[in-house]
Structure 1
Amino acid sequence: MVDHVGTVFLPGDTIHNLNKSEKTGKIIIGPGLRQESETIIVSKPGILRHKEPNIYWIDSHQKKYVPVKGEQVLGVVTAKAGDVFRVDVGGSEQATLSYLSFEGATKRNRPDVKVGDIVFARFLVANKDMEPELVCMDGAGRSSGMGVIGRDRGFMFTCSLNLIRKILSPGCVLLKTLGNGNRFEITVGMNGRVWIHGRSVVDTIMVANAISAAEFMDKDQIRAMCSKLADRFIVVE
């Protein structure tokens, strides 16, 4: 592990001597970093993080989402223009979603998508020179849980991108602990949006508040909070 990991960097800083893959001799860079020739440059402020064997990114507290190809997001359909839908994903511009970008969709069998619907989708195209494009299928053409969700039920709220990365990390105990003795549906988008549907309105609000409160908690604090909430869930029943 290089000494740079865990260090705070500012935009414009350069990073050297990162660990490369033994097989390919390459480095994989994520959000907050960009490569110019042989130089790795920091593009946003934050802490340098590392995942074995050769993946690096900047852990930054931010709410403004920048689309990244392959990331799954929660969007809101704002309009229909011809054969595509316009989707608000919280970025600087809206993304497009073709009606053919759903599993089993054809010209005769169009998906049931309405303005105002929440869609769970992934970015097929996301770069500074092209309009962002979403699809509701994986590489094999299957929905894999993507598509329209939460019509007439559930609750969607927005949180920081840092919290999203935290609750999706393998080491986070929040969702697993909240699920002990309490049933709820949850969909998490990398753009800082979370959709929840609990057994009741009270359960849904409690889960949403627990997720929001967990951003700066450690594992023990999260477990203690979930333990207190477990009693409340039982009372509600």
Structure 2
Amino acid sequence: MSSTLVLPGDSIPLPSSSKSVILGPGIAASSSRIQAPHMGTTPTCISTRLGLLSSLKGKEKSEQVWVEGSSKRYIPAQKDMVLGTIIAKHAEGFRVDLGSAHMASLEGLAFEGATKRSKPNLKVGTLVYARVSLANRDMEPEIECFDPNTGKAEGFGELKGGLMLTCSLQLCRHLLNPNFPLLPALAASVPFEIAVGLNGRVWFKTETVSESIAVKRVIEGVDSGEIKAEKKDVENAVKEYLA
């Protein structure tokens, strides 16, 4: 499935083996239905851009489906994890830059434990890790810094210190794949915290400046193709940059 080339407007049947399907970038729901053998009709989706049809199975028989393209501009999609920079404050919340065509809205109550009397006081320039809660074509996207299922932060919120770098959208999506070897290989050599946004931004925090430089150069090297995302190659690159 990951090697299938699709064009804008192509029909994409939903996987029948999965209990729930999450539509990612490049795929939109369609009102049409197709005839499936012994199953009557099943709903379909359509591709909105040129690229490779990709999928990733998650927990409890869920599956995410998206179109892997070469787009450089991030288009917000619901449930995406993103890194944003606060560019303005207002009475009800904040306006956040995600690197997309439109700024995102972040309510002051969209944080763990936030109330009308107790809201986070974030300054302009603050980096936040958030989740896209609303993404419609003709509206500004909305983001939130907590998990609505648990009411807890679950890693979302303000990111203090560390370093943020800009990567390709494809690399960021690969970094969130548990089978992609880059982050485990880096963690074997350098201890660090990391937050990956599907909008082409990566934040990480290490104990020393030299380790930060090494991690930054390795991630940029893998993104440019100069370094292979294999354990031996990554470990050798880290040793070279730390020497």
1:72-126 Cα offsets, whole Å, 9 max, x none, are: 1100000012221010011111011111111111222221311000001111111
Provide the TM-score with structure 2 as the length reference: 0.82
Identify the match of residue 151 of structure 2 among 141, 145, 158: 141
Sort the Cα spacing of 1:193 and 1:21 in 2 relative to 1 into closer, same or farther, 3 A.
Answer: same
Please show how residues 212-231 of structure 1 align to structure 2 within 5 Å: 212-215=220-223, 222-231=230-239
Residues 106 and 205 (structure 1), Cα distance of their counterparts in 2 relative to 1, 3 Å cut? same
1:9 aligns with 2:6: yes
Deviation, 1:222, is 2.4
The sequence identity of aligned pairs, in percent, is: 37
User: Quick one: structure 1 residues 147 and 214, their matched pair in 2 at CA, closer, same or farther if it must change by over 3 Å?
Assistant: same
Q: 1:9 to 1:102 in 2, by over 3 A?
A: same
Q: Gaps spanning 5+ residues in structure 2: where?
A: 34-43
Pair 1:165 & 2:170 matched: no
> RMSD value over aligned CA atoms?
2.6
| 1:181-225 CA distance string (max 9 Å, x none) | 311121111111001222222211221221122237699752232
Match of 2:77 in 1: 68
Matched residue type, 1:77: I
Match of 1:33 in 2: 27
Opposite residue 110 of structure 2, the aligned amino acid is: S
Q: When you count strand as a share of all residues, which structure comes out higher?
A: 2
Q: How does 1:1-237 map to 2 (within 5 A)?
A: 5-12=2-9, 14-15=10-11, 18=13, 20-22=15-17, 29-36=23-30, 37-38=32-33, 40-51=45-56, 55-139=64-148, 140-150=150-160, 153-215=161-223, 222-232=230-240, 235=243
Structure 1: give runs of 5+ residues left out of the alignment.
Answer: none
Aligned residue pairs total: 227
